[in-house]
Amino acid sequence: MSTRRIVLATTNPGKIAELRRLLPPCIEVVSAGELGLSLPPETGETFAENALIKARAAARASGLVALADDSGLEVDALGGRPGVHSARYAGEHASDEENVQRLLAELASVSPERRTARFRAVIALVHPDGQEALAEGVVEGTIVDRPQGQSGFGYDPIFRPLGHDRTFAEMTTDEKNRLSHRARALEHAVVILDQWLRCSTSDTGLRGEHRGPDESPATSPAT
């Protein structure tokens, strides 16, 4: 079976490694950086818009099927914030720790049962022939009252997934990857890639949102 190339519209080495591990072996992943592509800024108001902005630019510039993702944390007591602003919640160059501290300060007076939240990831796939598809993954949970655990990144130390008694930062990478919003979105995306590239090695039975070149954008997920 011949290998099909796709371009990953990200410069994040962690995401590139994760995708190389999770995609079927008949799909060869090259990153935007390896092709010398520069990506546009994320100016969208939803995860889907941001993922599409990056994937469209990479598909246009490379002539390859492009995959991009965008993700973040939605806290119910904050009306869905930080959402698309998760990476820079405490300021343009804020550290993970500063973002976590801002979130905890805002939730200081919120009772445990009202601290519900979810991580959401949206993957956009763009074919150079104009087809576009969105795949989404969500993991529900709660925000604990102080950071717990050392692994992971971002909001992992304060996010405890539903049905578990540890935060993401107290889990191994494998444990987190089995539950994570990104892994769930990728399961859907792999099904679509199987269809587009015709090199299926498995079918999970899951389906992502899918639309053709002339249809208007699919409904964006809440942010």
Note if 194 is an active site residue.
no
Measured from the CB atom, the residue of 75 and 197 that comes closer to ligand IMP is 75
Distances (CA, A) of 124 to 28, 42, 119, 142, 179: 17, 13, 17, 27, 20
C-beta closer to ligand IMP: residue 137 or 197: 137
* Contact assessment for residue 26 and residue 219, using Cβ atoms and an 8 Å cutoff: no
d(CA 3, CA 105): 50
Q: Which one of residues 8, 73, 107, 192 is an interface residue with ligand IMP (CB under 6 A)? A: 73
| Site track for ligand IMP across 151-170, x = CB under 6 A | -xxxxx-----------x--
Sequence-separated (6 or more) residues with CB below 8 Å from residue 36: none
Binding mask 74-103 for ligand IMP (x = CB under 6 A): ------------xx-----------x----
Q: How far is the CB of 169 from ligand IMP (least distance, A)?
A: 8
Is 46 or 180 the residue whose CB approaches ligand IMP more closely?
A: 180
CA distance 46 to 52: 10
The dihedrals phi and psi of 221, each to the nearest 5 degrees, come to -70, 155
Number of residues that bind ligand IMP (CB under 6 A): 16
